[in-house]
Structure 1
Amino acid sequence: MAEAAVNFLIGKLTTFLDNEVQFFRDAEEEVRSLREQLKCISASLRVADSLEESDEEVKAWVKQLREIVYVTEDALDEFKLLLVHDHGVGFAGLFCRISCCVKNMKARYRTILQIHNINSRIKSLCDGHQRLCHKFSNAEHVPGSNFSDNTRHEHQGNAFFLDKNELVSIEEQKKQLVAWLVEGTSRPQVISVVGMGGLGKTTLVNEVYEDPEVKKHFRVCAWINFSGSPNIGELLQDILQQIVRVIAQPIPHGADTMNIYWMKMLIKDLLQGVRYLVVLDDTGRIDEWEAVKHALPNNMCGSRIIITTRNHDLAYTSCQELEGKVYKMEPLPVEQSRKLFCAKTFQGSSCPSNLEEICEFILKKCGGLPLAMVAISGVLAKKDKRRTDEWELVRHSLGTEIDCNDKHKNLKRVLSLCFNDLPYYLKSCFLLLSLFPEEGFVEKKEGKTPEEVAKDYFMELLNRSLIEVAEIAKEENREWPDKVRRLSLQKTLQALQQNGSLSQLRSLYMFGMERPFMNKVLASDMKLLNVLDMLAAPLRRFPAQVADWCYLTYLSFRYTEVSTVPSSIGNLQNLETLDLKHTNVTELPIEILKLRQLRHLLVYCYKTVSHSHLKVGFKALRGIGALQSLQKLCYIEADDESSSSVMRELGMLTQLDRLAILKVKKEDGRDLCSSISKLTRLRSIAIYSVDDDEIIDLQHLSSPPPFLERLYLRGRLGALPHWLPSLSSLTKLYLWYCRLKDDSLVSLQICPILCISTKAFMKLRILGLGFFDRLRCIEVEKGAMPYLEKLIIVRCKLLENLPSGIEHLTKLNVLEFFDMPDELVKKLVQGEQDDDYQKVAHVSRVYYGYWRDGGCHVQLIERSVQRDGATARGTSMGSNEFPPCGSECPTKVN
């Protein structure tokens, strides 16, 4: 974490030197010196971050450094606040300028003094810890490696090791891997066993490695553990020693002093004519694989390399290089998880009825990870099964149990190792992923938006199987410091009773706060705030003081009762996201157009009219084309006299990837199509007509956005857009109230039969069809929509049968009906004797919804599900609130 903070500050100092140094001429050298010192420190911080977990002295050193970084950042930001002050005009403005001039001189002197003191503190911190610097230098090894600690490696290796009896279906998995090893091509192959920590990858591969058939097949077998941050030289020495033990040759003279290059050559020579098996256990990074692979000869003896890893990129890259195979380990299914959990917790007996709810909760928290289940079972097995209160205590303090209980040390090591293995730029993103997702911990990259870089980071975390790990974040923010930087408050302000200052606060999240406590927080001095999220707060008006917090980049009042936005919003020149979803705001001040950094403008809510939930957005602003940083614009209303101008201006927003427009009229079609053709980055478009009888004219669009993934249309079309079949990236398509007449398109024909032909919509995942009054039949040809996962059909009152050919949709797992004819629903409810019932035997969940007593309800149909030869019985849900009908996601069920 310290490395991320230091690098962030280095970037900030560079920006400061480029832009504000004219106000700091007499401190320029101090600032440059500070930046250079931080650059020097940054080079060793990756090592420090790795050592921090196991070395209290390093932990204290890193903490002091982090505090210095924060003080520096605060000093720079507080000074910049004075430079953006609005002095006004006339005599009052002159007086204000004079006053500010005096204040600026004082502030400049104070900031210069602070930077001088910071330089001294950093120098003192380094000079006073020469032994730590020596420790860092001793820990550094080849590129991509940080330190070596044999004891720690041993423990970390054990953290991943489960008893073979703790892995369900291990014999089947082992049989598959053994076959891949001893059969097939004579060329070397890589077999990658990939999955998140705690699944038992090492246990499985160890069983394969020790199998007599495998030992007999390979002349040389070697096992190398990459846990932690390995010394590549030591690992190569280990491989060499294992080889010479098997081939009964002495280690060549001078091998212990060889450099890495010559050691690789020696290993390659020894293995050249040998059928070998090398296991690279817990390999974390591609550079680790690169460092070892050149030591393994590309002979024609049927040699094999097994890699166990959490990194999906590494697994697939290594296999592509040597035409290998990937074995992906998944979390255990519910039934197998329950079997293992009961075997360990109740010694094979079933769970007592009084503990079923508690155990189901704990089991869910384990997420199908055998290691987690075994670790927690070790604690539960000693509990009195009659004392429900003891088990409840474990349930409510699961996080503490993991932190404090010796039985969970292995589980905690798994989590720690996964985290410590991350590069610096992902550590801060990971720690803040669940609590502070809007923070600016994303580096700028040429040619990419911050959102695209953030998505790359997210996918990298996903590939490392780390997304579900959350407990480590608490280690970084456990104690209430004197100066709080990131704060999440829920319900009450008990934590604030410690009188912690909020003057250095950068992120504030308030959930479910009571009004007096909320007002107390908002009255605090928070001039450096970057992120303010007041989800569902008891807020009725836009807090006036918020407009003074000019560092705000993210502002959300979602699910509040705020109804107006003041003109002072124009002061927030750094604002990038304004989230007013599900508020009462329907109009924005013209000053919103001053926010040239704004990237996400989200303003809409729902209103119920005649059993439908209709979207309400905000009145379109003439001049909206000035907001050229916008990436998401939802939902603008285009039904006033300026709509024609607004439609044309939309074409200026070339960074848009999501656009949603309400109350579109037929005459808007040509201008709208002209603008959409210029928005080549669009991924999502939602267009709603001014009323359900109004035609949406989209025939003028000659070249639709090439990467369009989601399309939502509500209103009369007359004919389907001619460009619809060309959307090769389309994954979601919703058509509501389209009232189509005869259409000659081959790929999609409607009235009164809808026919979806072979090779239509090859990437579509979700299809929603609603309010087709004349539709009597849907036909799906074999090969159409091969990846469709969810089909929604709403209020097609003449449709009495399931879509013909629905059995071809083999990926379909959710089927939803709402306000459909009773005849159709009865066929699904009455059971296996009905043909329609059999057509969807492969679909996991089938729902139907209806209006009753002025409310909307949805129910899961209880039925048997056939998948891969297995039968599972669905369960009845009972009535639930049915989400907004006619919205882009009309039938989500929690």
Structure 2
Amino acid sequence: MADHVVNSLVEYLSQQLEKEANFFGGVEDQVKSLHRELRLINIFLESSVGKRNEHPIVKEVVGQIREVAYEAEDVIDTFILKVAEHKKRSLMGRMLSSPMHAKMLRDVGRKIARIKNEINEIYNNRERYGIIERATESVDAAAAAAEALHKRRREVEEDDVVGFVDDSSTVVEQLIEGDRKFDVISIIGMGGLGKTTLARKIYNNVCVKRHFQCCAWVYVSQDFRTRELLLKILKEMPIPDQRRTLEDQLGVDELKEKLFKCLLRKRYLIVMDDIWNTEVWDEVRSAFPDNMNGSRILITSRIKEVASHASSTPPYFLPFLDKDESWELFRKKVFRGRTCPPELATLGRKIADDCRGLPLSIVVLGGLLANKEKTYREWSKLIGNVNWFLTDQANPICKDILALSYTNLPRRLQPCFLYFGVYPEDFGIPVRQLIQLWTAEGFIQHTGNRSIEDVAEDYLEELIDRSLIQVGSRATDGGLKRCRIHDLLRDLCISESKEDKFLELLRAGNLSFPIKSRRLSFHGDGSFPLYNVLNFFDPPCARSLLLFCKVKDRDLNLFVENFKLIRVLNLERCIVLHSIPKSIETMIHLRYLRITLSESVSVIPDSFGNLRNLETLVIEGGHLEDEYHPVIRRVSGIFKLQRLRNLYLKELLPLPYHLDEVLWNLQVLSTSTCWYVGELAGELDKFPCVRELEIKFIYKGLFFEDDNKAVHFLESLHHLHYLQKLTIDAFTIPPSDSISFPLTITHLTLENTRLAEGGGMIVLGNLPNLRILKLEECYDIRNLHVFGDSVPRLEVLELRRLNDVKEWKQEEGAMTCLRYLVIESCRELTMLPPELWSLTALQKVEVLHPNSELEQMLRELQMTFRCKLVIGSAH
């Protein structure tokens, strides 16, 4: 993790020198020199990757680099904070010549000089202790370690693991049926999921052995060498002994040629187990002839990219075991054919469930319990402690196998993966929040002109493709909505983070001295005594505070005021603030802030405008009891934040009138407002680069405004040239041919909206780029008429609780790209247009809670539908 720390600091200093140059008056040259030193030290870090565990000296030096980088970051951040505070206290114009400022310059100058000396000493020690050679010499040691782990892994593999019947049949079918052309079949999944076990079962299948004339199995691993790999395959080939004598003396190209000739005109199956990178396939591909007889390569990997690189055939993603399969495997491993006593069955199922469907966990835990006393008292010790038993240092096989996925990650992805440790166990992680936190932490590298959010989403997809993160749910457009991490991988994040001082997970009973991690995540069911943490922690070390537990306002105020250098403050909804901590206003390094306010808080201080580095702000409020008498809060200071990218003002936090600033960086704006549409229209041009806009009008009286104001609001949207996603709650679309939405919109959601007869659907149908349309509880639509050529790119249409719709007409040529349709609780709708079923792109239709007439019609026609039809019975 020193790699990430130094990289982040180099990038951070570059940004600070560019954006905060006025703060470094007097020490700018020294900061630039420190910046150069850190860039040089990266050379050593790059050369030591993958060698640190083998060499304690290298590991120690890398740790020293991390500590020095942290110290340099503390010095710079503290200096910027002190200068900012001194500016506020000083008279304008006298600040830079004041004795206090001169003293600060001398102090920071001495500290930077000392840090540079430490860096130089560390760098010079490379030669003194032979660290350069030690960091590059250990290919053989790494290969030996990998081979040793492979042997230990075989010890915990099951020869006949349960739950693979359907999986085995699917892959066997791919191997022995289909195209006669040479093909590569892939099994992909998380470490410990049973890929090797399944592949071995398939390899030994009677039908497979009978189908292929020549078979070979080779284990690849992370530290593969092409020559050794080819030799392993050749040694399993049916070659007479007298022709093997010179194999060990042949070069790579000669070995490829020999293997090619050996496989020529044979139907062969080669299993390549545990491939970690695409280079493996590139190195050996030319050794496999295409005999046009159905020859196959079967590979197992944790990485989807490996499969996609080797073949266009979609890989087989191995699923987790379900609860019954987990119990069957656990019982089989513990009792070895004998019956489980009835008094242990319920407890045993609970233990098996806690393994979360991972065969490796079940097999290892079952092996441990097989040699222990089988009593309720003994087994009850595991409840709530399964992961501890699985990762105990006395039996680290689970951790070692899973850690391979972490060590194989590119440097840019390692901090992103470790960050999953901040979340509680079994937490459905909101992807949007995760990406905003990664960005605030400085994990995401800028790539060309792409938005940093898009790059971050690519990072997450790559972690998913590497079988480290699971998809929780996807949005209707296919984008990620929530994700999850397996408990054992989460424990790996926590243990690796603690060692590198990256993250500390704190509970009320596990505080220990000293805590120097950069990130603190607080968990617990009860109220967390935050004041206790100050006795165990050095506040300047912290850069992130994430609370997933209840705390008292008084404790939070006392606690937060000690952490002035933090960049992330995430207070989940379980913490409702009755007052805003005064210290938040002074956190000038803050980039991400999420808080929830009680109804008693009526003012967001103007001093929030001092948080000039803030990128994401989420302020949630209490429940609105009376829509006609809402609590109005002042939030004007927020709209001075020039670096703000994401602004969520939930529940009764209206936009202020007559904004002075233009927020050029704002990408997402979500707000409730007590304004009328005419007043709001004049302010939208202050957010010219917004990509997502969500507006909730609180007053129901809005429906009775005149049409001119609604037209004015819609016209104001055309100033937002980058707008793609628009959500409006409580609005009126007047019956006018002259109104329109911006043509850039791809996602449109209308809730509690009045679509005047004859106008609304015509307007919506004229959006050429619209891909997703959601109408929920919209009024006055009696005839849903979709004209020809309407919404040519629409892929998803959701109609929910449209109680006025009685008839749906659709012309030929409309919605030709529609693939997903949802109709929920449209009580008056009795018929769907026949043109709907002729749409060739349509894949799924969900009709939820239809009236009895529509339900009967759909069930009668259900067997004739080409697409998947889901009918939810009316209640």
The alignment's TM-score, normalised by the length of structure 1, stands at 0.77
Partner of 2:319: 330
Match of 2:391 among 379, 382, 403: 403
Q: 1:369 to 1:848 in 2, by over 3 A?
A: farther
Per-residue Cα deviation, 1:368-403 (whole angstroms, up to 9, x for no partner): 33223222333455666652x544431211221121
Q: Which amino acid aligns with 2:402?
A: L
Partner of 1:714: 752
Distance 1:86 1:642 in 2: 44
Contact 2:666/2:690 (8 A) holds in 1? yes
Q: Which amino acid aligns with 1:394?
A: L
Shift of 1:554: 0.2
Shift of 1:434: 4.7
Determine helix, strand or coil for the equivalent of 1:371. Answer: helix
Partner of 2:279: 287
Unpaired segments ≥5 residues, structure 1: 142-146, 606-615, 749-756, 829-833, 850-894
Determine helix, strand or coil for the equivalent of 1:550. Answer: coil
Q: Which amino acid aligns with 1:79?
A: F
Determine helix, strand or coil for the equivalent of 1:734. Answer: strand
Partner of 1:704: 743
Match of 1:446 among 439, 445, 448: 448
Per-residue Cα deviation, 1:837-884 (whole angstroms, up to 9, x for no partner): 9999x98895878xxxxxxxxxxxxxxxxxxxxxxxxxxxxxxxxxxx
Q: 1:434 to 1:806 in 2, by over 3 A?
A: farther
Task: Please list, as runs of the form range in 1=range in 2, the aligned pairs for 1:77-96 lying within 5 A after superposition.
Answer: 77-85=77-85, 87=87, 94=94
Q: 1:483 to 1:658 in 2, by over 3 A?
A: same
Shift of 1:637: 2.2
Distance 1:247 1:183 in 2: 34
Partner of 2:691: 656
Contact 1:617/1:662 (8 A) holds in 2? no
Contact 1:659/1:682 (8 A) holds in 2? no
Q: Which amino acid aligns with 2:533?
A: L
Distance 1:685 1:32 in 2: 43
Per-residue Cα deviation, 1:242-267 (whole angstroms, up to 9, x for no partner): 458568623547846x4x56654565
Match of 2:662 among 609, 619, 626: 626
Shift of 1:674: 4.0
Distance 1:89 1:29 in 2: 28
Q: 1:176 to 1:109 in 2, by over 3 A?
A: closer
Match of 2:311 among 311, 315, 319: 319
Distance 1:629 1:192 in 2: 44
Contact 1:622/1:645 (8 A) holds in 2? no
Distance 1:381 1:286 in 2: 40
Shift of 1:712: 2.9
Partner of 1:422: 409
Distance 1:76 1:550 in 2: 13
Contact 1:47/1:140 (8 A) holds in 2? no
Match of 2:558 among 508, 520, 540: 520
Match of 2:586 among 541, 548, 568: 548
Distance 1:461 1:357 in 2: 35
Distance 1:341 1:646 in 2: 65
Per-residue Cα deviation, 1:641-683 (whole angstroms, up to 9, x for no partner): 8625436516x53242343342676434444444545656545
Task: Please list, as runs of the form range in 1=range in 2, the aligned pairs for 1:161-560 lying within 5 A after superposition.
Answer: 162-170=157-165, 172-211=166-205, 214-215=208-209, 217-218=211-212, 220-243=214-237, 245=239, 249-250=243-244, 252=246, 255=249, 258=251, 264=256, 267-268=259-260, 271-272=263-264, 274-300=266-292, 302-320=294-312, 324=313, 326-345=315-334, 358-359=347-348, 361-381=350-370, 387=376, 390-404=378-392, 409-435=396-422, 437=434, 438=437, 439-467=441-469, 468=485, 469-478=489-498, 481-490=514-523, 491-493=527-529, 496=533, 498-510=535-547, 511-524=549-562, 526-535=563-572, 536-558=574-596
Contact 1:72/1:118 (8 A) holds in 2? no
Partner of 1:599: 645
1:42 corresponds to 2:45: yes
Contact 2:747/2:770 (8 A) holds in 1? yes
Moved more, 173-182 or 351-360: 351-360
1:767 corresponds to 2:761: no
Q: 1:120 to 1:451 in 2, by over 3 A?
A: same
Contact 2:78/2:565 (8 A) holds in 1? yes
Determine helix, strand or coil for the equivalent of 1:446. Answer: coil
Q: 1:362 to 1:633 in 2, by over 3 A?
A: farther
Match of 1:574 among 606, 609, 613: 613
Moved more, 800-809 or 190-199: 800-809
Contact 1:780/1:803 (8 A) holds in 2? no
How many residue pairs match? The answer is 798
Contact 2:188/2:318 (8 A) holds in 1? yes
Distance 1:698 1:268 in 2: 71
Shift of 1:96: 8.0
Determine helix, strand or coil for the equivalent of 2:761. Answer: coil
CA RMSD of aligned residues (A): 4.4
Distance 1:27 1:463 in 2: 43
Distance 2:71 2:535 in 1: 21
Contact 2:48/2:136 (8 A) holds in 1? no
The alignment's TM-score, normalised by the length of structure 2, stands at 0.79
Distance 1:798 1:710 in 2: 24
Moved more, 515-524 or 457-466: 515-524
Contact 1:229/1:421 (8 A) holds in 2? no
Per-residue Cα deviation, 1:525-553 (whole angstroms, up to 9, x for no partner): x2210000122324212212111111100
Distance 2:873 2:373 in 1: 42
Q: 1:186 to 1:642 in 2, by over 3 A?
A: closer
Task: Please list, as runs of the form range in 1=range in 2, the aligned pairs for 1:39-118 lying within 5 A after superposition.
Answer: 39-48=42-51, 51-52=52-53, 58-85=58-85, 87=87, 94=94, 98-118=98-118
Unpaired segments ≥5 residues, structure 2: 424-433, 470-484, 499-503, 505-511, 624-630
Distance 1:509 1:668 in 2: 43
Distance 1:539 1:206 in 2: 57
Distance 1:698 1:226 in 2: 66
Distance 2:683 2:286 in 1: 59
Q: Which amino acid aligns with 1:423?
A: P
Per-residue Cα deviation, 1:731-790 (whole angstroms, up to 9, x for no partner): 461332321144542479xxxxxxxx9x998632x7242252464899999999975486
Partner of 2:122: 122
Q: Which amino acid aligns with 1:226?
A: V
Moved more, 596-605 or 212-221: 212-221
Q: 1:504 to 1:662 in 2, by over 3 A?
A: same
Distance 2:350 2:794 in 1: 39
Distance 1:588 1:476 in 2: 44
Contact 1:637/1:662 (8 A) holds in 2? yes
Distance 1:212 1:774 in 2: 60
Q: 1:62 to 1:398 in 2, by over 3 A?
A: farther
Per-residue Cα deviation, 1:630-649 (whole angstroms, up to 9, x for no partner): 12111142724862543651
Partner of 2:473: none
Distance 1:350 1:727 in 2: 65
Moved more, 172-181 or 420-429: 172-181
Q: 1:96 to 1:68 in 2, by over 3 A?
A: closer
Q: 1:637 to 1:214 in 2, by over 3 A?
A: same
Q: 1:737 to 1:254 in 2, by over 3 A?
A: closer
Per-residue Cα deviation, 1:605-646 (whole angstroms, up to 9, x for no partner): 2xxxxxxxxxx4413543377112112111142724862543
Distance 1:698 1:69 in 2: 62
Determine helix, strand or coil for the equivalent of 1:118. Answer: helix
Contact 2:730/2:752 (8 A) holds in 1? yes
Task: Please list, as runs of the form range in 1=range in 2, the aligned pairs for 1:114-153 lying within 5 A after superposition.
Answer: 114-123=114-123, 126-127=126-127, 129-130=129-130, 132-139=131-138, 148-153=142-147
Determine helix, strand or coil for the equivalent of 1:557. Answer: strand
Shift of 1:421: 1.7
